[in-house]
Amino acid sequence: MGERVYTFQMDGAVQERIAHECRQCCAFCDRLVQPAGCIEANCPYLYVYDDEQTGGRYMGCLNKVFRGEIDVELFREAEKTRHGFGGVKMSGRPTSFCRFTVERAYHGEGEAFDCVNPEFFEGPEPVDGLHSFDLRDRL
C-alpha cells in the first residue's frame, strides 16, 4: 500500500469552535451569546419560523453565531424569571449586534484556577454580516 495523500483542507469550523472556548486553566471558560440581546438590538440576522408539524415557533441566527434553534415559547417563559433565558454557546463570529458574556464552568481556588488568558474576555472582532452574505463579489 502506498502513502495516502489528502487533497482537501480541513473545514475552518474546528478553529471557530476553539476560538470560543478557553481551556488553558482549570476554570474552562466559554463565550455565550445572549439571545435576549439579539431581540433588544433588533438584530436583522435573527430569524423566526413556525414548524407546521408541531405548531411550535423557533428562532435562530442566520450568521450561525449560535447554531441551535430556540423554542420561542420556552424562551418567553424563561425570560419571565429572575435569571432570564441566559446564554447560548457561541459557535461563529459575532456581528456588531451580538451581546456576549464569558462564563466559567468551574470555580476554584489556587494557581490552577487563575486566568492565564485575559484576552479571551475581550472577545473576537465582530464581522459585518452583510458582507458574509453578499455573493455579488463571487459571481
The predicted-structure confidence for 85-114, as pLDDT tens digits, reads as follows 999 999 888 888 888 889 999 999 999 999
pTM > 0.85: yes or no: no
Question: Taking a C-beta distance cutoff of 8 angstroms, is the pair 101, 36 a contact?
Answer: no
For residue 61, the one-letter residue type is: C
Q: How confident is the model at residue 134 (pLDDT cuts 50, 70, 90)?
A: very low
d(CA 20, CA 59): 21
Query: Is residue 26 scored above 80 in pLDDT?
Result: yes
* Residues whose CB falls within 8 Å of the CB of residue 96, separated by 6 or more in sequence, listed in order: 126, 128
Burial class, 101, CB count within 10 angstroms (exposed 0-12 / middle 13-18 / buried 19+): middle
The DSSP H or E segment spanning 75 is helix 72-79
